[in-house]
């Protein structure tokens, strides 16, 4: 799906859940942290199939924006 394709297209941001890290992290909650819930339970928890959770790190903001822009461009 598009959320996973977007995450896979990122080059700077890391695809992992790691509390306390200083780098930009992304995860797809529907297939990771909330995968044990059925679709109705995920929706009740506010998790949608296209949701991407981002924890912004200390990289330069221009680098983060460029990474997200190129990953989004790769979807079309």
Q: Convert the pLDDT of each residue in 38-55 to its tens digit.
A: 999 999 999 999 999 999
pTM of the full predicted structure?
0.83
How many Cβ atoms sit within 10 Å of the Cβ of residue 72? Answer: 13
Residues 6 or more apart from 71 whose CB is under 8 A from it?
A: 6, 7, 9, 10, 11
What is the Cα 5 distance to its own chain's centre? 10
For the chain, the structural domain boundaries read 2-73
DSSP string, 32-69: TTTTTS-HHHHHHTT--TT--EEE--SS-HHHHHHHHH
Mean pLDDT, all residues of the chain: 93
Pick the CATH number of 2-73 from 3.40.50.720, 3.30.460.80, 3.90.110.10, 3.90.1150.10: 3.90.1150.10
């Amino acid at each position: 799906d598009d959320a996973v394709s977007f995450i896979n297209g990122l080059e700077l941001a890391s695809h992992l859940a790691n509390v306390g890290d200083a780098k930009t992290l992304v995860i797809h909650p529907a297939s990771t942290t909330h995968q044990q819930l059925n679709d109705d339970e995920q929706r009740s928890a506010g998790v949608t199939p296209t949701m991407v959770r981002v924890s912004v790190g200390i990289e330069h903001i221009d680098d983060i924006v460029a990474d997200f822009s190129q990953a989004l461009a790769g979807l079309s």
